[in-house]
Structure 1
Amino acid sequence: MNTERSIYDVFGKAVLKWPDRPFLNVLPETAGIYGIGAGEITYKQAYAQIKDAVTSYNAAGLRAGDRVLVLMENRPAFFLHWIALNALGVVIVPINPDLQSSELEYIGWHAEPVLAVCIDARRPDLERAAQDSEQHFPVAVLGEELPVLNETCAKDDYVAKQGDPAAMLYTSGTTGSPKGCVLSNLYFLEAGHWYANAGGICSLSEDGERMITPLPIFHMNAMTYSAMAMIAVGGCLTVLDRFHPRSWWQNVRDANATCLHYLGVMPSILMSMPNAPEDKAHSARFGFGAGIDAKLHIPFEERFDIPLVEAWAMTETGAGSVIAANTEPRKRGMSCLGHPGPEMDVCIMGDDGTPIEGTEPGELLVRRKGSSPRAGFFSSYFKDEAATLEAWEGGWFHTGDIVRRDTDGDFFFVDRKKNVIRRSGENIAAVDVESVLMQHPDIEAVAVCPVPDPIRENEVFASIVWRKDKTQAQAEEIVRWGLERMAYYKVPGFISFSNALPLTSTQKIHRATLKQQALELLDNSMTFNTTHLKRRQLVS
């Protein structure tokens, strides 16, 4: 049972218990990329910086319930600003640095922020978003003086509650624009508590754990299962700017990591690299993540001498429902997620709305056992009560993931029911990509779906009705146009020029037929590979 009221509260207790232990660690490689100092910062030092930030935000006139956009890439300072904003009851809205103009404009409009804080290179983009969204929020650069939003400082009488919103993370909407997941203090407190007490292969101790992650800090994994876990046990978190395959194991060694987080794309890349004498020269006891290629699971563990614990969760579920294969037998090489914890209620629902008791696949429905079935879950979709109620139809959270259960009670991932493309750890809504591409003046119709990718799990395939020349050059022009308007990973890696799209009798895109056609069209002369253009967009 969590007794702390907020993230700031639990961090303060960690400072009292472990003041001189390192909280954050910046490796020289990351420091050089970002132009920041390398080395460790203790809990006590971090707390002093947080208190300074609290003073600045308070002087700017921020109030409990205000929302602040924060774009800091993967800089460790993000965590200090998050905790400082939490002390005032202000809701942080992390911004993916890969987002481009139309996406920033949408979030700027939908989130209704009072302020944006960002790195200097992205100030023009956020200022444009403030203007185009008609929200006209001020933009402050990290390290510079904050604008005054209110002439008087907030009163010191804010008392945090577990149910207060602490963050709002945008997830890919499957039927429209991205949804803002409102996440409470309790959401994060439960995550830290879950990891600290998970036991099994991914056991954490209070003896000085050191975790390393290359995952985006603007996603739930790094915020909940990395930062909150380390705070819960007095551990140290090393955050990389991103995953660097050639220096990964050296990073693990330099960080003295006892555990690491991964995405499925990472083992695939690491296994493709030449064997090296130092492959097993590390101190990491386990890796925690999801999505490893089943056929690589056993070979990876044998080559690098580290167990990889596959797990399932969503931004919406948080620690309210987690499935993790953290005890033996883990059934490696079978896409096994493990056994649901005792705190979970689970149901596998058939297409006919009848629960499946046997081993047939169906949609995974979850909730917390007891009188509070939503405990640990997201609070709501911001400004979208209808979508929140739909997600919780019948008192269960509908995950949109297809799973099966074996006779031992272990769960196995099968597919995604929702029209989401999973690429290198990013969830991409097909309708999100389609809505942007339809703004192109020469595109008459478009449909997007996933096609398999040996490294990234899936790639974005676009079938486009196009009346102009159907050439590689035209396909690349569409991609370059798209790169100016959406994150690089969303733009199509394959474009097929078609005369018509597969439609249902009600004139909707026939998604199943589209997926089958995409596989057949990959080698067609009217399908063009544009993956070479999909690179992270550098800001000058």
Structure 2
Amino acid sequence: MANLAALLEQSTEKYADRTAIVFGDTRLTYAQVNGAANQVANLLVSRGIEPGDKVALSCPNLPYFTIIYFGILKAGATVVPLNVLLKGREVAYHLADSDAKAYFAFEGTPDLPIGDAAWEGFQATESCTEFFLIKLDSQQPEPMEPPEFYGPLVAQQPPTFDTVARDDDDTAVILYTSGTTGQPKGAELRHRNMRDNALAGADLFGADAARPDTYLCVLPLFHSFGQTVIQNGSMAYGGTVVMLPRFEAQSALKLMLANGVTFFAGVPTMYWGLLGALDETVDVETLAANLRVAAAGGSALPVDIHRQFKERFGVTILEGYGLSETSPVASFSRFGEEPRVGSIGVPIPGVEMKLINDDWSDVPDSPDAVGEIAIKGHNVMKGYYGRPEATAEAIRDGWFRSGDLAKKDEDGFYYIVDRSKDMIIRGGFNVYPRELEEVLMEHPAVSLVAVIGVPHESHGEEIKAVVVKNKDHDDVSEADLVAWGKEQFAAYKYPRVVQFLDELPMTSTGKILKRELS
């Protein structure tokens, strides 16, 4: 069956009593996760959701995410996972742009009221008609006022469901990724894109259902890395996912010890955090004895982190590369080989990579030649949802252009050199300046603005807005604009640094010269 939900269903058939998910004291078997996902599918069908409809999901790393994700797929619908940090106006944009008809959202916490932002966004979106609020205390008060609560609704549904058959080329997931031009775009990933990328675990990491891995899930599941490599990779090979909603190094180490974690994947700052949290109270010997695989992506790992991790944990960190548009994994270091520090490895089986010039022509094969990475294979998306022009710019003859500049050595290993676009990566999250600039221009004090990334010790890059003020707003301070931005944007997006200038450097054609700003 082509449906991506087969990853869960086939493991349930073979390993019904294996633990699929651990969260706190909760341990869910494959049979329990599959049954709960069937209840979600039944709920959606009862509300008129049909094959091909889009269903959005805002949820941190909790069992609900996996259950609802596979429930949406079982109903034949397309999952639209949303970043849990989005504010109401951003939620509304994503719901409308994806044509989502239904939306599941976790209530969140006082510090991160996910449910409030979700409800605000839903109410502002006419095309989305169903909203289900996931509350830990799921008793719906009487009289029942909206929003409806997830718990009582799914409890009424049967735990059996005949999964809707889908075609290999139907869209399974839409992952939002901001381009350099304006608003975020939805990358349409087919069932076969997502399935084949998850099944690559056998080649990349020696994944084997007979010797299942226990994965620590600290990467956000709404992100492609955590979704494919951790959640779907685990389900494909009968593994166990130990969920941690927010990375905190000491909590992560405790969970790794308590659950015998064999597979850890993270961004470089997480490895830095783990190493920094090791003290005499941590049983490093047991951690190292359990750990089989360590995978990294997002940005380059420093040489010293590689060395320290190998010394303490006895495992070589495997670095990889990918994008939302490539499901995400495109290349990886070779399992069992010494790392080539700074390299993103070689293309994974079934995937080709090459370096191209701006005009799509191939860059000559030479270790010093720099070109933009282009990717072709089972992992490349169908296109950007509802954006044929953007799709045509990004994909030609099956090749997807990444926007990342790289070199390739004699052995075919790739090394990222730079990003050809203006994207900022803050703490592993992609931030796109133009989206921020367009909103900042709405502030009455802002005449002109350029958003740039500046180096930051722990986040990699910090977001800075360089602003030319309107003359009649002298009373507005840098701190005022930071505070205003905090209200407009998700927590990882808003500019923490604002600088006022009298003018911005320009080209002769009037384009702002961002490289002259810092």
1:404 maps to what in 2? 407
Q: Please tell me whether residue 259 in structure 1 is matched to residue 263 in structure 2.
A: yes
Report how far residue 472 of structure 1 moved: 12
Q: C-alpha separation between the residues in 2 aligned to 1:118 and 1:157?
A: 23
Structure 1's 319 and 206: CA in aligned 2 closer, same or farther, altered over 3 A?
farther
1:63 maps to what in 2? 50
CA contact (8 A) 2:204 2:332 kept: no
Structure 1's 472 and 225: CA in aligned 2 closer, same or farther, altered over 3 A?
farther
Structure 1's 165 and 504: CA in aligned 2 closer, same or farther, altered over 3 A?
same
Aligned length: 486
Structure 1 stretch displaced more, 478-487 or 118-127: 118-127
Q: Please tell me whether residue 367 in structure 1 is matched to residue 376 in structure 2.
A: yes
CA contact (8 A) 1:26 1:238 kept: yes
CA offsets 1:342-368 (integer angstroms, 9 cap, x no match): 533221124574413101222111112
Q: Please tell me whether residue 330 in structure 1 is matched to residue 339 in structure 2.
A: yes
Tell me, what secondary structure is at the counterpart of 1:448? strand
Structure 1 stretch displaced more, 275-284 or 464-473: 464-473
Structure 1's 39 and 140: CA in aligned 2 closer, same or farther, altered over 3 A?
closer
Q: C-alpha separation between the residues in 1 aligned to 2:475 and 2:83?
A: 30
Q: Could you say what the CA RMSD is over the residues aligned between the two structures, in angstroms?
A: 2.6
Report how far residue 136 of structure 1 moved: 5.3
1:349 maps to what in 2? 356
1:198 maps to what in 2? 204
CA offsets 1:293-345 (integer angstroms, 9 cap, x no match): 234221232134332111011111126733334342312xx311122235332
Q: C-alpha separation between the residues in 2 aligned to 1:15 and 1:156?
A: 14
Q: After TM superposition, list the pairs within 5 Å mapping 1:308-319 onto structure 2.
A: 308-318=317-327
2:171 maps to what in 1? 165
Structure 1's 274 and 326: CA in aligned 2 closer, same or farther, altered over 3 A?
closer
CA offsets 1:414-453 (integer angstroms, 9 cap, x no match): 1111211011110111111111211111111110111111
Q: C-alpha separation between the residues in 2 aligned to 1:473 and 1:206?
A: 63
Tell me, what secondary structure is at the counterpart of 1:357? coil
Tell me, what secondary structure is at the counterpart of 1:316? helix
Q: After TM superposition, list the pairs within 5 Å mapping 1:524-535 onto structure 2.
A: none
CA contact (8 A) 2:354 2:362 kept: no
Q: 1:299 aligns with which of 280, 295, 308?
A: 308
Q: C-alpha separation between the residues in 1 aligned to 2:326 and 2:364?
A: 22
CA offsets 1:46-73 (integer angstroms, 9 cap, x no match): 1221222222222122111111121122
CA contact (8 A) 1:123 1:139 kept: no
1:429 maps to what in 2? 432
1:105 maps to what in 2? 92
The one-letter amino acid paired with 2:26 is G
CA contact (8 A) 2:207 2:213 kept: no
Report how far residue 386 of structure 1 moved: 0.8
Q: C-alpha separation between the residues in 1 aligned to 2:45 and 2:152?
A: 11
2:283 maps to what in 1? 278
Q: C-alpha separation between the residues in 2 aligned to 1:157 and 1:394?
A: 33
Report how far residue 409 of structure 1 moved: 2.2
Structure 1's 146 and 279: CA in aligned 2 closer, same or farther, altered over 3 A?
closer
Q: C-alpha separation between the residues in 2 aligned to 1:117 and 1:343?
A: 35
CA contact (8 A) 1:101 1:486 kept: no
2:189 maps to what in 1? 183
2:21 maps to what in 1? 24
Tell me, what secondary structure is at the counterpart of 1:451? strand
- TM-score computed with the length of structure 2 as normaliser: 0.87
CA contact (8 A) 2:375 2:402 kept: yes
Report how far residue 9 of structure 1 moved: 2.3
Question: Structure 2 unaligned runs (5+)?
Answer: 108-112, 139-148, 154-160
CA contact (8 A) 2:481 2:498 kept: no
CA contact (8 A) 2:54 2:98 kept: yes
Report how far residue 395 of structure 1 moved: 4.2
Structure 1's 13 and 341: CA in aligned 2 closer, same or farther, altered over 3 A?
closer
Q: After TM superposition, list the pairs within 5 Å mapping 1:102-181 onto structure 2.
A: 102-120=89-107, 121-135=113-127, 137-142=129-134, 144=149, 158-181=164-187
Structure 1's 147 and 500: CA in aligned 2 closer, same or farther, altered over 3 A?
farther
Q: Please tell me whether residue 72 in structure 1 is matched to residue 59 in structure 2.
A: yes
2:143 maps to what in 1? none
1:213 maps to what in 2? 217
Q: Identity rate of aligned residues, in percent? A: 26
Structure 1 stretch displaced more, 220-229 or 117-126: 117-126
Q: Please tell me whether residue 498 in structure 1 is matched to residue 507 in structure 2.
A: no
CA contact (8 A) 1:323 1:340 kept: yes
Structure 1's 480 and 77: CA in aligned 2 closer, same or farther, altered over 3 A?
same
2:254 maps to what in 1? 250
The one-letter amino acid paired with 1:181 is A
Report how far residue 126 of structure 1 moved: 2.7
Structure 1's 320 and 127: CA in aligned 2 closer, same or farther, altered over 3 A?
closer
Report how far residue 81 of structure 1 moved: 1.0
The one-letter amino acid paired with 1:492 is P
Q: C-alpha separation between the residues in 2 aligned to 1:280 and 1:456?
A: 29
Tell me, what secondary structure is at the counterpart of 2:354? strand
CA contact (8 A) 1:25 1:236 kept: yes
CA offsets 1:115-137 (integer angstroms, 9 cap, x no match): 21112354443332234344353
Structure 1's 253 and 477: CA in aligned 2 closer, same or farther, altered over 3 A?
same
Report how far residue 22 of structure 1 moved: 0.6
Q: C-alpha separation between the residues in 1 aligned to 2:271 and 2:120?
A: 39
Tell me, what secondary structure is at the counterpart of 1:376? coil
